[in-house]
Amino acid sequence: MYSSLSVDYDKFNNWKNRLAYEMPFIEKQTAALQQFNGQPLQILDAACGTGMHAVALAERGHRVCAADLIPEMVEHARFNAQTAKVSINLKIAGFGQLKSTFGSESFDLVLCLGNSLPHLLTGSALSNALDDFGAVLRPGGMLLIQNRNFDAVMAKKDRWMEPQAFQQGDEEWVFQRFYDFEPDGLIRFNIITLKRQNHGDWISSVSSTHLHPQLAHELIQAITASGFGHIRSFGSMSGEEFDPLASGNLVITAIKR
């Protein structure tokens, strides 16, 4: 799914608005981690996609590494970093591969944003990923996860997400995302892409992947079992209290013991 989607990924994300909304919360966490020495942090953006959070953090003076399983995403992230004239150490690596990829490097902050973690479909895969996050974090380092609030999604069987539109010159795109709820408890995540040029006929394509709807208590239990403490839950990247039936997101911060 994401190999083919990489070319359009930055089109259905309004990065100017998204970063304006999300970065203050991330900066609050980096400030808390910097309070004792005031030095730039060593940060790893896992499942970085096209790297826009990594770019924003590098622009703020932090030393940033980033990784994604999809080579095409990493190439787009490299282009975005070059365009912004920032240095980011980019690697092709998936969940569970970070320690072996980055070796002796250790980090003050590991990010896992954009509903990436639910792509792990089994409990063992989730545990391996969380153990891997812990392996690359320094003691006292922070893990920051941003998932969709699947407590609400599963309770309401909420299939549809807000459509996104993008226009560039005489080309136009519309993206519609929706879920199918599978009998085995997984979710099929679908994206319909509509594209047209010069007000012509729409050309459509559909891409899909599976997600495991990680509920809040399940994820917190797994994070605790991987050696993290001081776990806090928020309802979005603006930092309000998490409401299982109303929040749009499940955002978790946890500290490596």
DSSP letter string over the chain? Answer: -HHHHGGGTTTSS-HHHHHHHHHHHHHHHHHHHHTTT-PPPEEEEET-TT-HHHHHHHHTT-EEEEEES-HHHHHHHHHHHHHHT--EEEEE--TT-HHHHHTT--EEEEEE-TT-GGG--SHHHHHHHHHHHHHHEEEEEEEEEEEE-HHHHHHHT--B---EEEEETTEEEEEEEEEEE-TTS-EEEEEEEEEEETT---EEEEEEEEE----HHHHHHHHHHTTEEEEEEESSTT-PBP-TTT-SEEEEEEEE-
234 — pLDDT class (breaks 50, 70, 90)? very high
Tens digits of per-residue pLDDT, 152-209? Answer: 999 999 999 999 999 999 999 999 999 999 999 999 999 999 999 999 999 999 999 9
Tens digits of per-residue pLDDT, 80-115? Answer: 999 999 999 999 999 999 999 999 999 999 999 999
- Residue 102 and residue 30 in one domain: yes
- Residue 94 and residue 166 in one domain: no
- Residue 231 and residue 248 in one domain: yes
pLDDT of residue 4: 85
- Residue 247 and residue 220 in one domain: yes
Tens digits of per-residue pLDDT, 116-166? Answer: 999 999 999 999 999 999 999 999 999 999 999 999 999 999 999 999 999
Domain count across the chain: 2
Quote the domain boundaries for residue 125: 2-150+213-256
pLDDT of residue 36: 78
- Residue 89 and residue 205 in one domain: no
